[in-house]
Amino acid sequence: MDTELLGYAAGILTTFAFFPQALRMIRTRQARDVSMTWAITMTAGVFLWLCYGIMMHSLPMILANCVTLVLLFIILFFKIRDQGNSES
């Protein structure tokens, strides 16, 4: 199997895993069940994978991590907003 195809397959599957959670948060407009530690750690980790993909010139890593990072920013946005609302 071509390593690029393997990279695209892995990227599609791992990125797709974030869509249902992000869509649910957009629909419900809440993120109270999401761990802030998880959201921050995952966002930082995906950012580092993106940097690694850029340094390695790996298009599958770059594309997958760009999309995943956007989804994680959506999740993180709702989580931060929810925490601000619960303290009021």
Helices (H) and strands (E) in the chain, counts: 4, 0
φ, ψ of residue 78 in degrees (nearest 5): -65, -35
Q: Is the pLDDT of residue 86 over 80?
A: no
Each as own residue / partner, the long-range contacts of residues 11-20 (CB below 8 Å, 24 or more positions apart, any chain) are 11/60, 11/61, 11/63, 11/64, 11/65, 12/64, 14/64, 14/68, 15/64, 15/67, 15/68, 15/71, 18/68, 18/71, 18/72, 18/75, 19/71
pLDDT band at residue 87, thresholds of 50, 70 and 90? Answer: low
Segment 41-70, tens digit of pLDDT: 999 999 999 999 999 999 999 999 999 999
CATH entry 1.10.3720.10 includes domain 33-82:
no
pTM: 0.82
For the segment 6-35, the average pLDDT, to the nearest whole number, is 89
